[in-house]
Each structure stands twice: as structure tokens, then as C-alpha cells.
Amino acid sequence: MIYVFDYATLKLISWAIVGLLLVGFAILDGFDLGVGVLLPFVGRSDDERRVLLNSVGPTWEGNQVWFITAGGAVFAAWPLVYAAAFSGFYVALILMLFALFFRPVGFDYRSKVEDPRWRSAWDWGLFVGGAVPALVFGVAFGNLLVGVPFHFDGDQRVFYTGSFAGLLNPFGLLAGLVSLALLTMHGGFYLQLRTEGAVRQRAVLASRIAGAIFVAAFAAAGYWVATGLDGFQIVAMPPPDSAFVPAAKTVERLPAGWLHNYAKHPWTVAAPLAAFGATLLALAVSGGRRAGFAFAMSSVAVAGAVLTGGFALFPFIMPSSSDLASSLTVWDAVSSRRTLQVMFWAVVIFLPLIVLYTGWVYRVMRGKITVQRVRDGGHGLY
Amino acid sequence: MPTADIVDLSRLQFAVTALYHFLFVPLTLGLAWILVIMESVYVMTGKEIYRDMTKFWGKLFGINFAMGITTGITMEFQFGTNWAYYSHYVGDIFGAPLALEGLMAFFMESTFVGLFFFGWDRLSKVQHLMVTFLVALGSNLSALWILIANAWMQNPVGAQFNVDTMRMELTSFFELLFNPVAGPKFVHTVAAGYVAASMFVLGISSFHLLRLRDPSFAVRSFAVAAGFGLASAISVIVLGDESGYTSGEVQKVKLAAIEAEWETETPPASFTAFGFPDQAAEKTHFAVRIPWLMGLIATRSVDTPVTGIKDLKREHQARIENGMRAHAALQRLKSGDRSAEAMAEFDRLKADLGYGLLLRKYTARVVDATPEQIRAAVDDTIPKVAPLFWSFRIMVGLGVWFLFVFSAAFLVLARRRLARNRWIMKVALWSIPLPWIAIELGWIVAEYGRQPWAISEVLPTHLSVSSVSAGQLWFSLGGFIAFYTALLAVELYLMFKYARLGPSCLGTGRYHFESGGRAGPVTLQGTA
């Protein structure tokens, strides 16, 4: 195989690839999850709920693939993270899977039977399918910042020594609130773009409330990271261009350590600034005619929030609170050089295609979804 | 070390979730192409009835597709949640096809499937046909990547152990892609899906024909299913999985177990058509043998022997003993001795490292294993023969039955004698569940037959699990069974409801249950 990049560069590229897929997921599937959260509240009548469902109906399945592919990319590029995080966060992950079950069947089955109880049951199922994953992502991300109790033995077998309740620590819950509020706001801005009338009015209110909660919770989390949370730092490790196991490095904890990267590379401050600034801009024009701009800003805010966490952690992916050296970083949790190079080419070839055809599908399905259209559409719509 | 109950519960959960997922995938794989065929006829002839056919079968496709997605999410994450050591040990190789499946196939399938349902009024005829085609292509490419990953578990080519990272690493992406097991496995699996979808359409069309409802709609659907089904049944049998059984050790063991081939016969080996395999006594009671047949099927030659189980065990004993030496050499490297001699010693023995790991079920110190422990590990290398023997025979029997049903349906239709042969419609209707039985049995043959290995000759299943507790596993297993069973009941309810309604559910006003639909007596005469 001809290598275009050295191993260290490929390790960094793998971080960028997973980051890109996660940002894509948070922006695209994020508003689907948000619409799910808002479904029972913004849609009051059956017709109104069908407006919400059909605003995301034709595209949500493709959006969810960002999540599936991000999972596959973590498996391929960071097998140790895939193993440690998914088996460690076992109960949380399984609960999230159960919640996600409601979505494919909920969208497709809900309107296939007239009975109002049937429809209401699926609506609440779709609410759970939106709210629980949105919450769990935040809780998981928050726990990465706190540090997760796990270690490896000599065979590289991973042992998680915490509990499910341990994940629900105050900072983890605050991070869960951040992501729930953020994605709900994002869903609200999406609905402002795609709906009219009473539904849109309620969506405007929802994005304002969720946006305000997000700004407050995100600021609180930032303050907490700066004053009350220890960060992690690599003290010594083998050359980044070599292959080594996590235990080969030395790690220390230090107060406010997660702000280290922001001090060292000031441009990274753009991420939290974008999260705040874009949210405020979006809220400023919320409810007006510039719904497209508001939604774009809301998307920037989502990307900014994900990157804020990613930049803070770098090069850490999953720090261990119980055995510092077992912490997983972009240098030691990765696949071989050959596999990373295969991943690189796969992403370079296929991601632009995906963006192109996804854009085409959105263009074909553009336009407002109205109560009238849902009534006329009858059998052809959700 | 993982305890037996953790291993058993993890395996049970994987089997349950995979078998459930595999109730829905085959129909997606096949029905997507049937939709492409129907819509192509619509685009070429402009006849509205073919658009209605695409929409009606598309509705049933959607009901099934939703369950395929629901049960599929689990599969993408389950390796991490429940098979963490596996994920570490082979993730460098196994993860890539899964990521590629997402990037190349699943994105395409899922992005266009929404447009298939919602794009009828927003796309030109040809554009919509392209969308349907891309859904079919995406779902089938998806199967290709998953089966490339699975083929690597059966025959792990293009990889070797790295002492620095304590795992298997990719040495050739090309070999991974062109694994000799992958091709036959892919063709066999998707063709089985096409058979299932064809039987589904054939049976439901027959239901309507038997009741003389919308006969012109039903008979056209029947015709598409009979033709596509016949071609698929032939390929599932002729291009069957057998050609893959010659590559890779676990495939050879599986073949011997399927055939209850205790001794190596003088080639060409006979085929045991019937009998009762007795693993303890290593013989088959009341065996009915057909001379030559198995040698021909399995090796496609008259002089290549099919190795029997007793000989395989002798070979495995030698490799397990070699595996103990490989572990001793690995320990030497891990303790810091990286001399050229130590490296050469490990390189010489590392092919049997996995066989040494089989002993970890019985002792933490592989290098000190006792003769009893070695004997137990040798016995483990042969999967349970009876379930494989029977699963395989029922699967093959069903395959022959499908060939008969589709041939009969095709002939009756081609000779325009459908009306006089109501029996074929009854047979087709009652045969609807059978492809699913054959498919689930096929999964059991392939994956249960892979035991004791997760990755053939590399990583035993009992070492692959996560360090989770039995309580956590009971929670997840119970949840999966409860959710999937409840959702399956809902799915079947909707499937029956819409299949019975037939094209009336499209709301076009042209069909049986609608006020504008055809009323009065209808006969099958002349509609064929």
C-alpha cells in the first residue's frame, strides 16, 4: 500500500473524520430528535402532529445514518474507544437503543391506523425516541469530561468499574441538559422553516425557551469546567508516529486542565463563541421571515457546541479517572496505519457524494408542510 | 476471565438480535428489486397499473423496512456493548467494512428510501425509477459489506497479530475484499432474500386471486414474482454456499459437522441423506448414504478427500499444543526480550496463537495446560453436530421445495392455465413463511457452525465478550426480546391488514374495496 500520510497525521485525520461525522449527525439528526421532543407539545391536533412528522418524514432516515456511520467509524478508527465506551456505558447505551427503536416504526406505523389511542401512543413513543437519545449523548459527553472509571489488563481487556448511577453525576446531568436543550432548540428552528400558522407560532416559542435554557446551561457547564473540574494531560508518551498501548504513556490530572488547549491554540475559542453567538443571532431573528438564516445559525451553534467539547478533550477521547494511563487518546486508541488510510480514502470518496445526493433530496422535498397539504396528501404521507 | 454464564447470555443475546434482524432484511433485499422490475415496466409501458403495483408492494416494503432499521441499529452497536474484547482484538480489520457499509451503502439506501415514498409527485417517471433502483442497490451493497465482514470471521485472510498492540491488524485490504468465502456467501444470502420476497409477493397475490379480488392487479404481481422467484431459487441452489466450504479451517470443520462425517472417506465421499448423529460415540445411527454425492458437491472433484471429524481433531490437538508454544514465545516478547531469535520463534508459531487461546476457557496460564485441559479444548473445536446436521437438511429440503413452487407457478402461468390450477395458489399462499424458516436455519448453520470460534482459528467466542455483569445482560436481553416481540406483533398486524386490503389501500378509487372499484362477478379466465 502506498501511504500518503505518516501514521501521526493519519491519527489526527481519524479525529477529524469522527468529529465531522458527529457534527454532521448532531446537525442533521439533531433537528429530527428535536422535532420528536416537540411533537406532543407543538402539535396539538392530529393534523398538526402529522405536519411535524411529515416535515422530517422523507429525510430523517438518511439523517440517522450519520449516527450509524459515526458508530462504524469509531469501530474502524478507534476500536479501543468503541470497546471501552460502549461496554462501559452499557445500560445507558441499551436504554438509548430501546428509545431509538420507537423512531423507524413510529414514523411509518403511526398514521397507518386511524385509532386516536394508537396514534397518541406512537406520538409519545416518538417523543421518547427524540428525548432519551438527546439526553444520553449529553450525559455521555459530560462523563468523558469528568473521566470514566475503567482500566485495561495485560491482554488489553477493558474493565469498567463504575455504575449506571455513577454516570448520572451532577456534571453529566448538566451536560445532558445542554444537549437536550440544544437539539430541542434546533428542532424548533427547523419547524420554523418548514411550517406555518399556529404550529409555527408554537415552534417559535419552543425555540426561545429551549435556546434560553441552552445558553444558561452551556455557560454554567463552561464555568464548571473552568473552576470545578479537573482536566487531563499527557506527561510523557512514545513517539506519536509509533504504535503503542495506552498503558505506555503517563497522564496527570490538573485543575482547569480542559482549558489548556484554548490557551495554547486561541483559535479554538471560535467553537464556544460560535455556540453562544450563533444561538443569540438565531434567537434574535426567531419568529421573523428569515427562518433560513435562523436555522443556519442554529446549525452553527450545534457544530460549535460539539467542537467545544472535542477541542477541550483533545488529544483525549475517553480519559480514565481510575487508572490515568488507561486513558484513551487519539495517539493510542487508534487502528493501524493501513486501516486509517483505508478509512481516509473511503471518507474522501464517499462523503462528498453523500452530501451531494442528500442536498438533492432536500431540494426535491423543499417547501412548507401545511395542515391542508397533510389532509390532501392522505395515503401518501405519514 | 469471562464466566460461562456471561458468555452464554451474550451469545444468546447476539443470536436473538441477529435472528430477529434477519427476519426483515431478506424481504428488503428482494422486494426492492421486485419494485424496480414493476416500476421499470411502468416507465416503459406507461400503464398505470404497474405504478399502483409499485406503490402497493412499496407500502408493504415500508412496513418491513421500518423493522429492518429498528433491529439493525442494535447490530451496529452490539459489538461494542457486548463483544468488547472482540472489538479490540479484531476491530482494526472488522470495523472497516462496517464503516464502509455506512458510507457507501446504508447512506444511499436510507437517503433515497424517503424519496421513494414521498417523491412520486415531485419527480419525473425516470427520476423516480432511479430512486427506487438506488434503494435496491444500496440495500444489496449493504449486504455485500456485512458479508465481507462475516466472511472474514469464517476465513480471516489479510491480517496478522501485532505484539505491540496485542491485536490482529490488517495486512491487505485487497485480500479482505476478495476473501474466497465472501463471494459465494453474498450471492447465497441475497438470492435467499430474493426467494423470500418472491414467495411473499406470489403468496399474497394468490390470496387475492383465490378470492377473485383485483385479478388483473394480482395476476401481474404473481407473474413478476414467479419469474423473479424461479431465477432466484435456481441461483440460491446452484450458486449455493458450498463453494465457500473449501476455504478456511472453520469452513472445513463446519462441512464435516453438517455431514456428520466422522471418518475421512476415500474420495469422493458419500452424502448422508438421513441419520441420527451421536457426538459422544462419534458415529451416525441409521445412516442412509448416497455414494459420491458429497465429494462432488463439497470439493467439485472426485479425488479430493473431505476430512472427517476424527482426523480434524487430531490436527487440532497438534495445533493447540503448538499454540501453547506460541504463548510461551509471546510471553517472552512481552517480558521485553525483542531479540531476533525471540521474534523469529514467535513468527514461526503465531499461526497457532488462537488455538492456544482455546485453553483460556480452562486455565489462565495457557503454557501450563494439563493433558485433560488440552483434550477438553480439542473436543471444543468441533461444534455440536446434530443441530447443524438437521438445520442444513431442512434448509436444503426447503430450497428444493421453493424451486418446485416457482417452477410450477411459472409453467402454469406461461401456459395460461392459472384458473384451472387453484392448487398452486393455495400452495404459494401457505408457503409464505417457509423461506424465513430456511433463512434462519441458514444463519444457524453458518454461525453456530463457526463455534467455538468468533474468528476462525484466531479468537475463541468465550474470550470475545465484554466485562459486563449477568444482571446487565438479563436487563438488555429481556428488553430486546420484549421490544422486538411487541414490535413484531405490531408489524404483522399491519402487514396482514394492508396485504388483505390489497391495492385498495392506495386510495385511488380503482380497486375492490373502494366504492369506485370493480364490482360484480369476476373470473380469472382471460386475465392471465
Average pLDDT of the segment spanning A9-21: 97
Average pLDDT of the segment spanning B308-334: 94
Q: How confident is the model at residue A238 (pLDDT cuts 50, 70, 90)?
A: very high
Ramachandran assignment for B62, one of left (phi > 0), alpha (psi -120 to 50 degrees), beta (any other) = alpha
- The pLDDT assigned to B514 comes to 82
Average pLDDT of the segment spanning B201-205: 98
The 10s digit of each residue's pLDDT in A28-49 is 999 999 999 999 999 999 999 9
- The pLDDT assigned to B273 comes to 82
Q: Touching check for A83 and chain B: CB below 8 Å?
A: yes
The secondary structure of A95-120 as a DSSP string is: HHHHHHHHHHHHHHHGGGS--HHHHH
Q: Write out the three cell numbers for B479.
A: 428488553
- Asked if A72 lies within 8 A of B118 by C-beta distance, the reply is no
- The pLDDT assigned to A209 comes to 97
| Nearest Cβ partner for A61 among B95, B114, B467 | B114
- Asked if A107 lies within 8 A of B66 by C-beta distance, the reply is yes
- The pLDDT assigned to A68 comes to 94
Average pLDDT of the segment spanning A93-99: 96
Q: Write out the three cell numbers for A106.
A: 413510529
Q: Touching check for A355 and chain B: CB below 8 Å?
A: no
For chain B, count helices (H), then strands (E). Answer: 18, 6
Task: Name which of B41-55, B89-103, B253-267 the model is least confident about.
Answer: B253-267
pTM over 0.90: yes
Residue position matching grid coordinates 504463548: B327
The 10s digit of each residue's pLDDT in B323-363 is 999 999 999 998 888 999 999 999 999 999 999 999 999 99
Contact B112, B136 (CB under 8 A): no
Of all residues in chain A, the one with the smallest CA distance to B104 is A350
Of all residues in chain A, the one with the smallest CA distance to B78 is A86
Q: How confident is the model at residue B528 (pLDDT cuts 50, 70, 90)?
A: very low
Residues of A in contact with B497 (CB under 8 A): 112-113
The 10s digit of each residue's pLDDT in A220-233 is 999 999 999 999 99
Compute the distance between CA of residue A196 and CA of residue A204 in angstroms, rounded to an integer: 11
Contact A193, A59 (CB under 8 A): no
Look at residues A147, A170, A271, A260 and name the one whose alpha carbon lies nearest to residue A217.
Answer: A170
Residue A364 has pLDDT above 70, yes or no: yes
Q: Touching check for A239 and chain B: CB below 8 Å?
A: no
- The pLDDT assigned to B246 comes to 66
- The pLDDT assigned to B307 comes to 87
Q: How confident is the model at residue A377 (pLDDT cuts 50, 70, 90)?
A: confident
DSSP three-state, residue B274: strand
Residue B437 has pLDDT above 90, yes or no: yes
The 10s digit of each residue's pLDDT in B114-130 is 999 999 999 999 999 99
- For residue A9, count other CB atoms closer than 10 A to its CB: 16
Residue A305 has pLDDT above 60, yes or no: yes
DSSP three-state, residue A368: coil
Contact B140, B108 (CB under 8 A): no
* Exposed / middle / buried, residue B106 (Cβ in 10 Å: 0-12, 13-18, 19+): buried
- The pLDDT assigned to B522 comes to 53
Look at residues B461, B466, B455 and name the one whose alpha carbon lies nearest to residue B94.
Answer: B455
Rg (CA), chain A: 21
Least Cα separation, residue B455 to chain A (angstroms): 16
CA B264 to chain centre: 29
Residue A1 has pLDDT above 80, yes or no: no
The 10s digit of each residue's pLDDT in B152-189 is 999 999 999 999 999 999 999 999 999 999 998 999 99
Please count the residues of chain B: 528
Q: How confident is the model at residue A119 (pLDDT cuts 50, 70, 90)?
A: very high
Residues of B in contact with A1 (CB under 8 A): 173
- Asked if A75 lies within 8 A of B479 by C-beta distance, the reply is no
* Complex-level ipTM: 0.95
- Asked if A364 lies within 8 A of B73 by C-beta distance, the reply is no
Ramachandran assignment for B159, one of left (phi > 0), alpha (psi -120 to 50 degrees), beta (any other) = beta
- The pLDDT assigned to B129 comes to 98
- The pLDDT assigned to B241 comes to 61
C-alpha torsion sign, points A48, B113, A74, A25: negative
- The pLDDT assigned to B296 comes to 73
- Asked if B93 lies within 8 A of A339 by C-beta distance, the reply is yes
Look at residues B152, B153, B158, B155 and name the one whose alpha carbon lies nearest to residue B172.
Answer: B158
Average pLDDT of the segment spanning B24-52: 97
Contact B87, A75 (CB under 8 A): yes
Q: CB-based contacts of A337: which residues, under 8 Å, 6+ apart?
A: A3, A7, A10, A243
Which of residues B245 and A204 earns the better pLDDT score? A204
- Asked if B70 lies within 8 A of A154 by C-beta distance, the reply is no
Residue B526 has pLDDT above 80, yes or no: no
- Asked if A158 lies within 8 A of B84 by C-beta distance, the reply is yes
Residues of A in contact with B490 (CB under 8 A): 105, 109
- Asked if B82 lies within 8 A of A82 by C-beta distance, the reply is no
Compute the distance between CA of residue B434 and CA of residue B200 in angstroms, rounded to an integer: 10
Q: How many Å from the N-terminal Cα to the C-terminal Cα in chain B?
A: 65
Q: Work out the mean pLDDT of chain B and round it to a whole number.
A: 92
Where are any strands of DSSP class E within A4-52? Answer: none
- For residue B273, count other CB atoms closer than 10 A to its CB: 12
| Beta bridge partner(s), residue A318 | A328
- Asked if A90 lies within 8 A of B119 by C-beta distance, the reply is no
Contact A339, B95 (CB under 8 A): yes
- What's the Cα-to-Cα distance from B225 to each of A266, B33, B197, B229, B406, rounded to whole Å? 64, 11, 8, 5, 8
Of all residues in chain B, the one with the smallest CA distance to A129 is B70
Residue position matching grid coordinates 476457557: B361
DSSP run (H or E) holding B275: strand B271-278
Look at residues B291, B313, B312 and name the one whose alpha carbon lies nearest to residue B302.
Answer: B291
- Asked if A90 lies within 8 A of B94 by C-beta distance, the reply is no
- For residue B377, count other CB atoms closer than 10 A to its CB: 26
Of all residues in chain B, the one with the smallest CA distance to A378 is B507
CA A210 to chain centre: 17
**Burial per residue of B315-341, b for 16 or more beta-carbon CB atoms within 10 angstroms, e otherwise:** ebbebbbbbbbbbbbbebbeeeeeeee
- Asked if B102 lies within 8 A of A68 by C-beta distance, the reply is yes
- Asked if A104 lies within 8 A of B66 by C-beta distance, the reply is yes
Residue B267 has pLDDT above 90, yes or no: no
CA B285 to chain centre: 30
Residues of B in contact with A75 (CB under 8 A): 79-80, 87, 91, 94-95, 98-99
Which of residues B281 and A85 earns the better pLDDT score? A85
CA A96 to chain centre: 13
* Exposed / middle / buried, residue B122 (Cβ in 10 Å: 0-12, 13-18, 19+): middle
Q: CB-based contacts of B493: which residues, under 8 Å, 6+ apart?
A: none
The 10s digit of each residue's pLDDT in B499-509 is 999 999 888 88
Q: How confident is the model at residue B521 (pLDDT cuts 50, 70, 90)?
A: very low
Residue B518 has pLDDT above 60, yes or no: no
Residue B524: what residue type? Answer: L
Q: How confident is the model at residue B242 (pLDDT cuts 50, 70, 90)?
A: low
- Asked if A364 lies within 8 A of B115 by C-beta distance, the reply is yes
- The pLDDT assigned to B268 comes to 81
Q: Work out the mean pLDDT of chain A and round it to a whole number.
A: 95
Of all residues in chain B, the one with the smallest CA distance to A55 is B118
Interface test with A, best of B75, B78, B81, B160 (most A CBs within 10 A): B81
- The pLDDT assigned to B244 comes to 61
Compute the distance between CA of residue A14 and CA of residue A22 in angstroms, rounded to an integer: 12
Look at residues B32, B34, B33, B29 and name the one whose alpha carbon lies nearest to residue B72.
Answer: B29
Residues of B in contact with A112 (CB under 8 A): 63, 494, 497-498
Q: What are phi and psi of A97, to 5 degrees?
A: -60, -45
Task: Name which of A162-166, A186-190, A355-359 the model is least confident about.
Answer: A162-166
- For residue A359, count other CB atoms closer than 10 A to its CB: 10
Average pLDDT of the segment spanning B292-314: 81
Please count the residues of chain A: 382
Q: Write out the three cell numbers for A308.
A: 467545544
- Asked if A157 lies within 8 A of B66 by C-beta distance, the reply is no
Q: How confident is the model at residue B369 (pLDDT cuts 50, 70, 90)?
A: very high
Q: Touching check for A69 and chain B: CB below 8 Å?
A: yes
- The pLDDT assigned to B527 comes to 44
Contact B186, B101 (CB under 8 A): no
C-alpha count within 13 angstroms, C-beta hemisphere, residue B495:
20
Residue A375 has pLDDT above 50, yes or no: yes
